Structure 1
Amino acid sequence: MTSNSFISELNPDRSDRPALAFRLQVKEYEAEIPVHQHRKCQLVLALHGAVTCQVDKALWMVPPHCGVWIPGGLPHSNRTTANAKLYYLFVEPDLVDLPKQCCTLAISPVVREMILHLASIDQEYEPDSHTDRLARVLLDELARMPMERLCLPVSDHPKITEIENALRANPGDRRTIEQWARRVAMSERSLARLIVAETGLTFGRWRQLFHLLFAIRELAGGASVQRVSGDLGYESVTAFITMFKKALGQPPARYFASLSRMRETSSPSE
């Protein structure tokens, strides 16, 4: 890890404050933060660009104006796009009613602005001070944020890891499950059963979800729809947009426009 690593400069566990917030501009630090863990829970919030968080057996995508919730004590790593602008919110365990597992949250403008404000002031605030009360209201609001399904199940099984690594190196690899089975020296039926057992998804659904998360990351990083479609091996841009719309309910341009509009909308009602 180099000397300008963000994690090497920060130890949130030294504080017992309810919540701490920090700003991270990726160009000032490493684009990849290796596996680490801390006692405090963490929200990784992306305002620009995107970040992928890897936790045990899952990859979580953080597109703009969303956050990934990471419970305390879980080893994880972060990989960001080069244009990413992130905020980290660290929370004392058991102070917020959120799942004990990772999840992706859509972050309202109210919550976002409270995180940005908290990151701009002294983190060593006094108990029952104005900042302490603001932090506790922030945690109450955070528990109300809706969840997004932007998670790719992964496996440490060597056969599946080999396929995953090959797809990361060449996302447009269009080999069939029969062809992958030959590569990893298994029968097609055995490999199909293994993938379902390890990830809960069929091979086709698992690869489509891999493509979706890759597309979100690259589009958030500034790549064009045409380039991403080609990188993923789609025969046409239309086919790629159809996949994207089926998965997220909107074509790419409209999806990212709706995320941007979250800057101007109010907090969701209960």
Structure 2
Amino acid sequence: MQDVQHPPLEQFELDDLGQPAVALMLTTQQHAREFPVHEHRKGQLVVACRGGIVCTVENGVWMVPPGFGVWIPAGVSHSNRVTANGQVCFLLVEPEAAALPDQCCTLALSPVILELIFHLSAQDQAYPADSPTARLTSVLLEQLEMARCEQLYLPLPAASPLRTIAKALAQDPSNRSTIADWARQVAMSERSLARLVKSETGLTFGQWRRQWQLIVALQSLAEGETVQRTAEVLGYESVSSFISMFRKTLGASPARYVRSTGMAKTSAAPTLVR
């Protein structure tokens, strides 16, 4: 995709416009890689065009590889972290303009949706209601309503013991402690910790930790790390066992997934838990 010239608007200015959808393309050269906690009057789709994006809300973290977007409903506080040399596009959708989810989710974006978003980002965002841009935007929103949800999501539990574990894993993704080990560290019984994880996240401890590993793996691969190095970062004893986990979860090997999503080499990893 070639870079184009875009209207000199900021994403918060777009919130004031009344058009059904408005879009803004940014590279990390045009904007800081960290978008602090904020919210919008409109719903926002955060699209990774190059590199990767980590979106954080109060109760979860989403990893956004190229070809995907995170849908954030209106009024939901969130922060975004873009990988170095990344490129992000924001699509802001007027409330009630489309039947989109009322909760945050990751959406797989078809080539048609992506091209329509990129095209819209290059137009005058104050377009008239009877203009060609308005008609294309209508098609875009219709297509977006049919986009498939993907599980590139890590629930962040509110309970203090689980936040402690999450922060420890963020600092050392290779930590292979068992649930019994963690239970001792947070002064709980293994059974109580297992129940707490299930009630807070809807996942077993093993499922939650694998989802964490998947998010970290996607960050690493989006940063241009090799599959072998990514497996090492996650503490896998063999590359093949890491590849098996990755394929079982996302349906493709890491190398094939990177090729299919167009992940590009970048340089500095985002932080998941602050």
Report the 3-state secondary structure (helix = DSSP H, G, I; strand = E; otherwise coil) of the residue aligned with 1:10: helix
- The structure 2 residue matched to 1:248, chosen from 233, 240, 250, is 250
Report the 3-state secondary structure (helix = DSSP H, G, I; strand = E; otherwise coil) of the residue aligned with 2:46: strand
- How far apart, in 1, do the equivalents of 2:48 and 2:196 lie? 34
Equivalent residues of 1:84, 1:221 under 8 A apart: no
Residue of structure 1 equivalent to 2:67: 65
Question: 1:124-143, aligned counterparts within 5 Å?
Answer: 124-143=126-145
Equivalent residues of 2:12, 2:40 under 8 A apart: no
Residue of structure 2 equivalent to 1:259: 261
Q: 1:97 deviation in Å?
A: 1.6
- The structure 2 residue matched to 1:79, chosen from 75, 78, 81, is 81
Q: 1:255 deviation in Å?
A: 1.5
Residue of structure 1 equivalent to 2:14: 12
Structure 2 length as normaliser, TM-score? 0.89
Residue of structure 2 equivalent to 1:160: 162
The one-letter amino acid paired with 1:151 is: Y
Residue of structure 2 equivalent to 1:265: none
Equivalent residues of 1:12, 1:20 under 8 A apart: yes
- The structure 1 residue matched to 2:149, chosen from 147, 160, 175, is 147
Report the 3-state secondary structure (helix = DSSP H, G, I; strand = E; otherwise coil) of the residue aligned with 2:15: helix
What are the superposed Cα offsets for residues 74-107 of structure 1, whole Å, 9 maximum, x if unpaired?
1111122113211100000111122111111111
Equivalent residues of 1:60, 1:150 under 8 A apart: yes
- How far apart, in 2, do the equivalents of 1:62 and 1:7 lie? 23
Residue of structure 2 equivalent to 1:109: 111
Q: 1:138 deviation in Å?
A: 1.0
Report the 3-state secondary structure (helix = DSSP H, G, I; strand = E; otherwise coil) of the residue aligned with 1:206: helix
What are the superposed Cα offsets for residues 92-124 of structure 1, whole Å, 9 maximum, x if unpaired?
011112211111111111111111111112111
Say how many residue pairs are matched. Answer: 256
RMSD: 1.8
Structure 1 residues 34 and 8: alpha-carbon distance in aligned structure 2, compared to 1, 3 A threshold = farther
The one-letter amino acid paired with 1:109 is: P
Residue of structure 1 equivalent to 2:223: 221
The one-letter amino acid paired with 2:220 is: E
What are the superposed Cα offsets for residues 133-152 of structure 1, whole Å, 9 maximum, x if unpaired?
11111111111222211111
Q: 1:9 deviation in Å?
A: 6.5
Q: 1:223 deviation in Å?
A: 1.1
- How far apart, in 1, do the equivalents of 2:146 and 2:108 lie? 10
- How far apart, in 2, do the equivalents of 1:93 and 1:79 lie? 25
- How far apart, in 1, do the equivalents of 2:28 and 2:158 lie? 29
Question: 1:48-59, aligned counterparts within 5 Å?
Answer: 48-59=50-61
The one-letter amino acid paired with 1:25 is: T
Structure 1 residues 9 and 141: alpha-carbon distance in aligned structure 2, compared to 1, 3 A threshold = closer
Question: 1:221-240, aligned counterparts within 5 Å?
Answer: 221-240=223-242
Equivalent residues of 2:66, 2:261 under 8 A apart: yes
What are the superposed Cα offsets for residues 225-264 of structure 1, whole Å, 9 maximum, x if unpaired?
1111111000011111011011111111112222249xxx
What are the superposed Cα offsets for residues 16-62 of structure 1, whole Å, 9 maximum, x if unpaired?
11111001112332222121101100111111111111123111121
What are the superposed Cα offsets for residues 147-167 of structure 1, whole Å, 9 maximum, x if unpaired?
211111111211111110111
Equivalent residues of 1:107, 1:145 under 8 A apart: yes
- How far apart, in 2, do the equivalents of 1:13 and 1:32 lie? 19
The one-letter amino acid paired with 1:18 is: P
What are the superposed Cα offsets for residues 169-197 of structure 1, whole Å, 9 maximum, x if unpaired?
11111111111111111111111111111
Unaligned runs of 5+ in 1: 1-5, 262-270
Equivalent residues of 2:52, 2:219 under 8 A apart: yes
Structure 1 residues 137 and 124: alpha-carbon distance in aligned structure 2, compared to 1, 3 A threshold = same
- The structure 2 residue matched to 1:38, chosen from 30, 37, 40, is 40
What are the superposed Cα offsets for residues 190-221 of structure 1, whole Å, 9 maximum, x if unpaired?
11111111111111110000000110121012
